[in-house]
Amino acid sequence: MENQKVKKINLVYLLSYIFAPIIICAICFTLSAKFFPAGNMAVILIMGPSILSFVWWVFAGNFLYKRAQKRLEKELDESGFVKNYIFYGAGWTVAVDIENGKIAMVSFWNPSVSYVLPADRITKTWVDDGKSGFGIFEGSGRVSFLFMIDDVKIRVNTFTSNTRFRMDSEYILTGISKADMMVEVLENARKKVK
Amino acid sequence: MGFIRNIRSVFHDDWCRECKSEMEVKNKKLYALPMMVGHYVSHTDPEYYIKNVTPVNRKAEIPTGQYACGVIAYRCPECLHEAVKLSVFLPVRDVEKYEDAFLFENGEVDSLIK
């Protein structure tokens, strides 16, 4: 488990997340066109998969990710992992055990696998405040902390928005503070192993 | 003149509420609050601060992501009225992100400034 290679995206999951509802809809629409051109069965075959696809795309990702987070926490509690810090990002959940120098992670796009790794596998940590523009146009729409595990770059957003905010706005400052804190925590865990 | 001064005093926490004069800073203290970024809860009860703050000498001593609390004691040179301003902020690099500020005029948090 400690030598696991970190995989950010499970390609099968990603493709089935996007295309499975489309394939099911196509099959149902074809069946309806061929065998049930009218009547209740046609309505069921057209409306059913359409509604289910919408529900799947809107809610399934978060539902599966939340379940993965709960599973990760349960696994950590059972294994004696001390959750000094746990950060629930939209793309990654990262837990850090400073006392034993370990980190645990689960990804939104790979929810079936939880990673528990020694913190010395982190080779680099840094904060990206997303600052761009200059003068009165200087601002950011994303703040994140990043770390490299072996050769894999993990980006965890502490703030995201489709609007740009000034660098001294409360949202950006809160995001920077969270990112700075997590980088410090990861570095402390890494030092503990060394 | 007095009317304008009354209006101006509304915008200055460090002006005396009794005689509207500018108060002088008597003492300053800095404390760390046991709250981390993303988990801030506003407390208006002065007892909370008396029981939970930890004194620090410099802002650099406050761990990253932890809230701080600045306490400033004011005294009016004209009428000798005293007040203590308690401001809660999150130190972020070289910036301070303010959350709350309270003015105590009846000695509620005097133990923090001694």
Count interface pairs A-B at CB distance under 8 A.
34
Alpha carbon of B64: minimum distance to chain A alpha carbons (Å): 5
State which residues form the domain around B72.
Answer: 2-112
pLDDT averaged over 10-residue windows placed end to end, chain B, 114 residues: 69 77 90 94 94 93 94 90 92 93 89 86
Would you write out chain A's pLDDT as a tens digit for each of its 194 residues? 567 789 999 999 999 999 999 999 999 999 998 888 888 888 899 999 999 999 999 999 999 999 999 999 999 999 999 999 999 999 999 999 999 999 999 999 999 999 999 999 999 999 999 999 988 889 999 999 999 998 899 999 999 999 999 999 999 999 999 999 999 999 999 998 76
Note the ipTM here: 0.83
Of B38, B63, B95, the CB nearest to A173: B95
Number of CB atoms found within 10 A of residue A120's CB:
14
Which residues numbered 14-43 in B keep a CB inside 8 Å of some CB on A? Answer: 36-38
Number of structural domains in chain B: 1
Rounded Cα–Cα distance for residues A61 and A69 (Å): 12
pLDDT at B33: 95
pLDDT at B9: 67
Rounded Cα–Cα distance for residues A164 and A17 (Å): 30
User: Could you tell me if B101 and B69 are in contact, meaning their C-beta atoms sit under 8 angstroms apart?
Assistant: no
Is any Cβ of chain A less than 8 angstroms from the Cβ of B93?
yes
Structure tokens, A24: 């099911």
Structure tokens, A25: 């809809």
Alpha carbon of A57: minimum distance to chain B alpha carbons (Å): 29
Rounded Cα–Cα distance for residues B21 and A123 (Å): 58
Tell me how far CA of residue A165 lies from CA of A161, A180, B65, B99, B105, in angstroms. 9, 19, 20, 18, 37
List the single best residue of B33, B35, B36, B37 to mutate versus A (max A Cβ within 10 A).
Answer: B37
Helix/strand/coil for A53: helix
